[in-house]
Amino acid sequence: MQARDNPFNPLFSPFPRATARLFEAVWKRELEKQDNKKIPAGAQRNHSGGFDRGVGMRVGYFLNGLGQTRWLDVFLEAETHRVSAFSPVSGLTHVAGWGLKPAAKKARRFAAAKGLPYLSLEDGFLRSLGLGVTGSPLHSLIVDHSGIYYDATRPSDLETRIVEQSLNADQQSRARAGMALLQRYRLSKYNHAPDFIPAGLELPASPVLVVDQTAGDASIHYGLASPEVFAAMLDAAIAENPGAEILVKVHPDVVAVKKSGALVGAGPAQRLPPGD
């Protein structure tokens, strides 16, 4: 190990010498513990330079966000370990974070600096029975090795599989059956809202639905949209459908008064009841 590889070496540290020595001692103890953890035998590298999912994976994560995710080891089928900016990488095969959200910047920078594959994680499409912002635990998790589904600037695992993989007759039948079950039981991402239309909101024969998103959501920026696009969408719906009832589907996190919406206050549209 070169002297400069030690971020707390008193010769190069910006900290006072006594403080640097204390940090150096803690760092070395952590390094020794990590060096004793070996990647299990049988781990195989995949095309992206990482290790196959569930085969010898040891995933590092930062406390912000992912540290509060229940059953993370089970979802990833791997050992998970909290890391920091100064953590050694011995034994780690991947670094995980919440997709392209600001909370995952540290994880993405750490993965790039250490030469480790980054795993983009997101709520599953059938997430839970209740809102994540109110503490409802995950029932499903998206794990993407190449991108994330809402990023229009590059492919994701989901996009690649749709393009490259063809379904045989049995798989197509299973897919149709799955879609039928989703429709039959009216399943969605959060599954928490009552399925009814409140008194006083009578739907016309051909209402126009405009779907809102939470303000600042990563899917807006990486979907190549903007707050102005949402306002333009509402204006276009009104202009192109004179006399029609324009319904704005408010994001459930906004209904729960946990976040603000991109369209809140944007126009005189009638809003749908709390839904998901």
CA dist., res. 132 & res. 251, Å (int): 13
54: left (phi over 0), alpha (psi -120 to 50) or beta: left
pTM metric for this prediction: 0.72
Reported as type and span, the H/E element at residue 227 is helix 227-240
> Over the stretch 78-88, which tens digit does the pLDDT of each residue have?
999 888 888 88
Residue 257 tokens, joined: 């008064």
Confidence at residue 26, expressed as pLDDT on a 0 to 100 scale:
62
Residue 49, classed as helix, strand or coil, is coil
Is the torsion defined by CA of 104, 109, 110, 112 positive or negative?
Answer: positive
CA dist., res. 118 & res. 110, Å (int): 9
What residue ranges of the chain have pLDDT lower than 70? 1-55, 65, 198, 200-201, 203-204, 264-276
Long-range contacts of 239-242 (CB under 8 A, 24+ apart): 241/208
Confidence at residue 204, expressed as pLDDT on a 0 to 100 scale:
67
Give how far the C-alpha of residue 206 lies from the chain's centroid of Cα atoms, to the nearest Å.
35
Confidence at residue 273, expressed as pLDDT on a 0 to 100 scale:
42
Confidence at residue 84, expressed as pLDDT on a 0 to 100 scale:
86
Q: Which backbone phi and psi does 195 adopt, to 5 degrees?
A: -95, 80
Q: Under a CB-based contact definition with an 8 Å cutoff, are residues 57 and 94 in contact?
A: yes
CA dist., res. 191 & res. 253, Å (int): 13
Confidence at residue 74, expressed as pLDDT on a 0 to 100 scale:
87
Confidence at residue 215, expressed as pLDDT on a 0 to 100 scale:
92
Confidence at residue 40, expressed as pLDDT on a 0 to 100 scale:
43
